[in-house]
Amino acid sequence: MIVMKFGGTSVGSALRMKEVANLITLDSQKKIVVLSAVSGTTNKLVSIGESLYKQDKDEAIHKIKQLRAEYDQLNQELYSSDESKEKAKLLLNENFEYLLSFTKDLFTIYEERALLAQGELLSTNLFKIYCDEAGIQAALIPALDFMRIDKNLEPDEYYIQSNLEKELSKYPETPIFITQGYVCRNAFGEIDNLKRGGSDYTATLVGAAIKAKEVQIWTDIDGMHNNDPRVVEGTHPVESLSYNEAAELAYFGAKILHPSCVWPAQQHNIPIALKNTMQPEAKGTIISQFTDKDRITAIAAKDGITAIKIRSGRMLNAYGFLRNVFEVFERYKTPIDMITTSEVAVSLTIDDKSHLSEILDELRKYAHVEVDENKTIVCVVGDFLSDKKGYAEQIFGALRNIPIRMISYGGSNNNVSVLVNENDKNEALKALHEGLFTAKTMA
């Protein structure tokens, strides 16, 4: 069995949905098809939520009506038969009534999560109606019945596997299963989600649960590029990535993959193929245990980083100092991304600022603390042999004109990271591209 996940753009119009139907029926392999919301829908739901939080009912109703109009249009374009159009209309009526119900009552984080789940519920249900019309034998299995996170917001793998199996066993003869990406339940059984971009994570979690032969992530670009194509011109797809390389790129900002989605596939050694729905014949990228040794593979960047410098007169020879520092971050469940130390100070970075003020209060009890916000981690990923000379010169030579706040080299063989000001990010990405890829190709 394989998993095929289609992102927002890939289900973004009637035409695209029809192409998805085409791609999932090209062969007779059994498959689970994971769909995102129609592109733009989740952003619009977020925006409706913002209106509801500020209790601007009229604005929320206006936005809901605008969204409804888009779906009415999709309904007209997607189906040929009146029967399908009518079915879709009933579905939309029900769904949009539900959205409007949020304008009548208190709006809290619980309602917001239920609101955000509607995008994937809509896209999958509409797609199922299309499959029925097109004579494609497919079953819709609700992600809310098997996808779950635990109290630590980590996937509950045992629950997912056993409940997914139960769902699949209801349709022993069905070759194609359709389900929602992104949406899940939490430890309390409430509707929740896997964070923005989370449909990739659904796909690999589902892949791991069924020990899939392959997880395919279909999107709007022909694989993982060697730099951020939104910033740098002349990037190109990387044909193969190791799990570690892909995980670093995803974690450090390559938007094509959700930051956590590599691990479930890696754990079970399931290859992930990144493919382009607009250009299905393009090779794309294969992520697997195999890797090309000794190479600089790709560059990514993650914004919104906060750097914290912690200095203590007593750090000199004080072996308990780092433990004290780490314990503070552990208490507030705040992961540290980069870290560098000197004899008297330690600098580290975080991207989750939700407990920043409590963390600072605690650290200031025993150290002098400086905070620098609006930083970006620029991350060069590859397979760096520790006994090989020259990587540092290549990377830092390329960055000679960019002010660097922190450097992390040697933490893993796959990653060299530098911390720069957010407004130097684009220049840093371009300079690295020129220095590491373009200049090399031309030489």
Sites of contact with Mg ion (CB under 5 A):
7, 197
Structure tokens at 166: 């139960």
Question: How far apart (Å, rounded) are the C-alpha atoms in residues 249 and 251?
Answer: 5
Q: Is 236 helix (H, G, I), strand (E, B) or coil?
A: coil
Q: Which of 198, 207, 264, 271 binds ligand ASP (CB under 6 A)?
A: 198
Smallest separation, CB 250 to ligand ADP (Å)? 9
Q: Is 107 helix (H, G, I), strand (E, B) or coil?
A: coil
User: For binding to ligand ADP (CB under 6 A), which residues are involved?
Assistant: 7-10, 36, 197, 219-221, 224-225, 228-230, 254-256, 300
Q: Which of 2, 11, 35, 36 binds ligand ASP (CB under 6 A)?
A: 36
In the stretch 102-121, what mask flags binding to ligand ASP with x, by CB under 6 A? -----------------x--
Smallest separation, CB 201 to ligand ADP (Å)? 11
Return the number of the residue (56 or 220) whose C-beta is nearest ligand ASP: 220
The interface with ligand ASP within residues 41-60 (CB under 6 A) comprises 42
Q: Which of 8, 223, 259, 435 binds ligand ASP (CB under 6 A)?
A: 8
In the stretch 147-186, what mask flags binding to ligand ASP with x, by CB under 6 A? ----------------------------------xx----
Under the criterion CB under 6 A, does residue 253 sit at the interface with ligand ASP? no
Under the criterion CB under 6 A, does residue 285 sit at the interface with ligand ASP? no
- Three-class secondary structure assignment of the chain: CEEEEECCHHHCCHHHHHHHHHHHCCCCCCEEEEECCCCCHHHHHHHHHHHHHCCCHHHHHHHHHHHHHHHHHHHHHHCCCHHHHHHHHHHHHHHHHHHHHCCCCCCCHHHHHHHHCHHHHHHHHHHHHHHHHHCCCEEECCHHHCCEECCCCCECHHHHHHHHHHHHHCCCCCCEEEEECCEEECCCCCEEECCCCCHHHHHHHHHHHHCCCEEEEEECCCCCECCCCCCCCCCCECCEEEHHHHHHHHHCCCCCCCCCCHHHHHHCCCCEEEEECCCCCCCCEEEECCCCCCEEEEEEEEEEEEEEEEECHHHCCCCCHHHHHHHHHHHCCCCCCCEEECCCEEEEEECCCCCHHHHHHHHCCCCEEEEEEEEEEEEEEEECCCCCCCHHHHHHHHCCCCCCCEEEEEEECCEEEEEEEHHHHHHHHHHHHHHHHHHHHHC
Under the criterion CB under 6 A, does residue 12 sit at the interface with ligand ASP? no
Under the criterion CB under 6 A, does residue 271 sit at the interface with ligand ASP? no
Return the number of the residue (125 or 414) whose C-beta is nearest ligand ASP: 125
Return the number of the residue (190 or 373) whose C-beta is nearest ligand ASP: 190
Smallest separation, CB 359 to Mg ion (Å)? 30
Return the number of the residue (242 or 347) whose C-beta is nearest ligand ADP: 242
Return the number of the residue (272 or 348) whose C-beta is nearest ligand ADP: 272
**CB contact burial 362-374 (16+ within 10 A = b; e otherwise):** bbeeebebeebee
Q: Which of 3, 4, 34, 37 binds ligand ASP (CB under 6 A)?
A: 37
Contacted entry of ligand ADP, Mg ion, ligand ASP, none for residue 228, CB cut-off 5 to 8 Å set by kind: ligand ADP
Contacted entry of Mg ion, ligand ASP, ligand ADP, none for residue 198, CB cut-off 5 to 8 Å set by kind: ligand ASP
Smallest separation, CB 136 to ligand ASP (Å)? 23
Contacted entry of ligand ADP, Mg ion, ligand ASP, none for residue 37, CB cut-off 5 to 8 Å set by kind: ligand ASP
Q: Which one of the spans 191-199, 222-230, 272-280, 361-369 is the region binding ligand ASP (CB under 6 A)?
A: 191-199
Using CB under 6 A as the criterion, which residues of the chain lie in contact with ligand ASP when the complex forms?
Answer: 7-8, 36-37, 42, 119, 181-182, 196-199
